[in-house]
Amino acid sequence: MSETQTRPAPTGRPLLLMRDIRKEFPGVRALDGVSLSVGHGSVHALMGENGAGKSTLMKVLSGVHPAGSYDGEILVDGDPCAFAGVADSERAGIAIIHQELALVPQLSVGENIFLGHERARRGVVDWGATHAEARALLRRVGLDEAPTTPVSALSVGAQQLVEIAKALAKRVRLLILDEPTSALTEVESDRLLDLLLGLRDEGVTCILISHKLGEVVRVSDEITILRDGRAVETLAVERGEDGTPSVDEDRIIRGMVGRDLDQRYPERVGEIGGTRFEVRDWTVAHPTQPGRLMVDGVGLTVRRGEVVGLAGLMGAGRTEFAMNLFGRSYGRRVRGSLTKDGEELDTGTVAAAIRGGVAYVPEDRKTLGLILDDDIRHNTTMAALDRVSSRGVLDPGLEAVEAARMSERMRVRSHGTTQAVRTLSGGNQQKVVLGKWLFTRPELLILDEPTRGIDVGAKYEIYLIVRRLAAEGACVLFISSELPELLGMCDRILTLCEGRITGEVPGEEADQETLMRLMTRTGDQDRTDPRSPR
């Protein structure tokens, strides 16, 4: 354990004090008298189930919800603050990095860092100063990239570091990070967390929202738990001489859900039958780079009632395989076949895949899974309109009944199926996506990062749904970056590296070390497209 990780929590007058914050939206009270105190030079975690009010509280603090739209008081360094917008909070040294990054892909790293507060002389951008200051900030966050590099060329992890550099350029005193590691690899997450600890020791206070309990325990000085719009407790994290924290994951879970979760994963029920689906030699070329194979000869089987895991590091080809299998939604299929009950199945279009009993829940629910401005009802039924239509004409009454039934089955927390999906919490949005594809009555359900960015309680509910589907005889292909999740949910786990299957382990025999070894195994086979010129 590093010296920064064993540092005791700061004391003295808090940098931030929020008193009795109340915020309402039409029909719902999002914050109900929340108070929060954050000390100077600390990492303070905000925990809670989806919809508990974490992001809303931080939007109040950062001016996204301006003064006058909420009740309560905010004090920064003892001074009352009423932010009319984000610009006001930034002038007070507060910056927020949202889960959806606010970068312009077409602009360079340096341009993004100083966007809105450009380094200029007499109204003309001073590129020398821009690049010099950007280089210094990039060194500070540990990113080895030129300021002229387009943001679109960076990984998600590198873009997170650019966002932090952008905040530091504004002389931030309080940095708010909302799910900063949800789309990062394990290595990228570790680097980001180490950076937060370094910034803390430089005097920058951080508020961290995360559903990854291990991360929170590792870096936090204090943890405030929200439940149903109220702050229920704040836990001080003390560390022993060996670095062991005084707060563990089970203690946090108990505070979040109001009860103990004796098991993180539900027990298997039902029997596994014979092989239902089989993929042979599935090979996919990159959509814009001729000759580059993203998936190379993948073969696998899924039995009736079985949950098969697919593990791999970022870039291994998991999502590319799933999306191409489901209606050629990514890249170009070079070769391969999919059979159901021994007969070849056409999945050449999304419509054909759905007719064949295949459904795909994408990893990016907001971009690929939902129409955010539309309501729960339409999002639920859009993939199977024939089930709520008569002679090609939509039956609104039947649609409302079926959407309500599926919403109840998924335990979506809402004011009704006419509520816009964008107003739901992340966990409830994920349940709507899952319900949308379950409404198609799939026989093979492909889940791509189905619990990304949602809390432990909502995760468990999704795990129960998956287990129930398997018990009813459905086949499930479960893709996840979280190895404990795969170990807890899957009957078999296949590993993928550089587009190839590198191993297969029965669920009861698998462990993280074995999976990681297989996930990093590479071969020397030719990876070029056999249809491309040599």
3-state secondary structure 44-57: EEEECCCCCCHHHH
| Conformation bin of residue 139: beta by default, left when phi > 0, alpha when psi is -120 to 50 | alpha
Phi, psi (degrees; rounded to nearest 5) at 132: -65, -45
Q: Walk me through the domains of the chain, giving residue ranges and CATH numbers.
A: 1-93+173-257 (3.40.50.300), 105-171 (no CATH), 276-357+442-526 (3.40.50.300), 367-441 (no CATH)
Query: Residue 441 CA to chain centroid, in angstroms?
Result: 26
Residue 116 corresponds to which amino acid? Answer: G
Structure tokens at 384: 């199977």
Q: Specify which residues 239 forms β-bridges with.
A: 245
Report the alpha-carbon distance of residue 361 to residue 323 in Å, rounded. 10
Helices 456-471 and 249-257, packing angle to 10 deg = 90
366, 394, 365, 370: which is closest to 380 by C-alpha? Answer: 370
DSSP 131-188: HHHHHHHHHHHT----TTSBGGGS-HHHHHHHHHHHHHHTT-SEEEEESTTTT--HHH
The reply to whether the predicted model has a pTM over 0.75 is no
Q: Distances in Å between the alpha carbon of 179 and those of 46, 210, 257, 365?
A: 10, 5, 19, 15
Report the alpha-carbon distance of residue 415 to residue 203 in Å, rounded. 43
pLDDT in tens, the chain (534 residues): 333 344 444 446 899 999 999 998 876 788 999 999 999 999 999 998 777 888 899 999 999 999 999 999 999 999 999 999 999 999 999 999 887 778 999 999 999 999 988 888 888 999 999 999 999 999 988 888 999 999 988 887 788 889 899 988 988 999 999 888 877 777 778 888 999 999 999 999 999 998 888 889 999 999 999 988 899 999 999 988 887 888 888 888 888 877 555 567 888 888 899 999 999 999 999 988 878 899 999 999 999 999 999 998 877 899 999 999 999 999 999 999 999 999 999 999 999 999 999 999 998 888 889 999 999 999 999 999 999 999 889 999 999 999 999 999 998 988 899 999 998 887 889 999 999 999 999 999 999 999 887 777 778 889 999 999 999 999 999 999 888 899 999 999 999 998 999 999 999 999 888 998 898 875 444 444 444 433
- List of residues 6+ apart from 154 with CB closer than 8 A: 109, 145, 162
Structure tokens at 345: 């199945």
Q: Specify which residues 338 forms β-bridges with.
A: 279
Structure tokens at 272: 């596994």
Phi, psi (degrees; rounded to nearest 5) at 355: -60, -30
Report the alpha-carbon distance of residue 336 to residue 501 in Å, rounded. 14
- List of residues 6+ apart from 202 with CB closer than 8 A: none
Q: Specify which residues 479 forms β-bridges with.
A: 310, 448
Q: Specify which residues 46 forms β-bridges with.
A: 209, 224
Q: Distances in Å between the alpha carbon of 367 and those of 202, 322, 361, 433?
A: 37, 16, 12, 11
